[in-house]
Amino acid sequence: MDLIHTFLNLVAPPFTFFFLCLFLPPYWGLKFMVSILSWLLSENVAGKVVHITGASSGIGEYLAYEYAKRGARLALSARRETALHQVADTARHLGSPDVIVMRADVSKPEDCMRLIDQTVNHFGRLDHLVNNAAISVATLFEETPDISNLRPIMETNFWGSVYTTRYALPHLRKSRGKIVVMSSVDSWLPAPRRHIYSASKAALVSLYETLRVEVGSEIGITIVTPGYIESEITKGKFLSAQGEVEVDQDLRDVEVSAMPVGSVSGCAESIIKSTLRGDRCLTVPSWFRMTYLIKLLCPELLEWTFRLLYLTAPGTPTSDALSKKILDATGAKNLFYPPSIQSPDVKTD
């Protein structure tokens, strides 16, 4: 057996290289033609049924508005029912013929089963499932006294998506529908303080790439990896080391620093256009895809840069991080941060 592996160790690299040289040009040509065809024949969602989790704010809220403009019927779920009703009213005004809301916590399997059942019982079908609900963290791994305090991140970001998808699959098969998966560029970027959050987003990518193989062409799956987009996370809403949701704008300034924050409306529009075309993956803004190339080609440089920018010496306040000093010294917040994320008015319930 070892002899076989020794042989493959020698043969596999050159064989793969020459195979790719022959295969990639026609493959890319075919993909280009398919992309043109998909753009011309984008799906019409007028009258179709879309369920969006985490729809009370941020990307989920604005995806509801984009679907509403296209005449889709909506089922919106989140933990904050009052905010959901406000989103639903706006969606109706924008053109959705029917909108229902339901309070649900996707970390609970019974809530996920209920929200799918209510959607199908009300509308009689399900065409798109948007798994958007998520929470973030911004604490160093060793500074978390009880690591189990961070379980809600994986339970919401990963398992919440798993539960809703499992209950929705039979209905999506019937409609030959689509799943939209909200991952993140943090699924490949080793940013400090985001450990469990990044792990949850990387797990989503792995799960849905595997599921794409299992379901074949019966269900379309679009994996979205947003960069910095205006949302409650970029407003400074995090799960603390004690397991409590809190708002810390100084910590937000450390984490985001002088990076431009994209508009949530533009992000939502890009996501729905990509979904209706049937794209497999979308990174928004698209320039963030270059960070994956950097991670692949020079990971040590990326890790060194993150340590330099975001970490401080032991015993030094987090607010002394170089990333925040650059933000404060340049005044980049006024240029790169939308007014909406500079307000500390963020609900934590």
* 3-state SS, residue 307: helix
Residue 94 phi/psi, 5-degree rounding, is -80, -10
Q: Please report, as a single letter, which amino acid is at residue 208.
A: Y
CA distance 237 to 219: 34
Report CA 175 to chain centroid distance, whole Å.
24
Give residues with Cβ within 8 angstroms of 73, minimum separation 6.
47, 48, 49, 50, 96, 97, 98, 99, 123
For 216: left if phi > 0, alpha if psi spans -120 to 50, otherwise beta; the answer is left
Whether the CB-CB separation of 131 and 164 falls below 8 Å is answered with yes
Half-sphere exposure of 88 (CA within 13 A, CB side): 23
Alpha-carbon dihedral angle through residues 282, 187, 289, 138, given to the nearest 10 degrees: 110
* Active site amino acids: 197
CA quadruple 53, 225, 199, 259: dihedral, nearest 10: -110
Report the chain's terminal Cα–Cα distance, integer Å: 58
- Letter for the amino acid at 4? I
DSSP classification of residue 339: G
**Rg of the chain (C-alpha set):** 21
- Residue identified by tokens 């595997």 is 210
Using CA atoms, how far apart are residues 66 and 54, in angstroms rounded to an integer?
Answer: 15
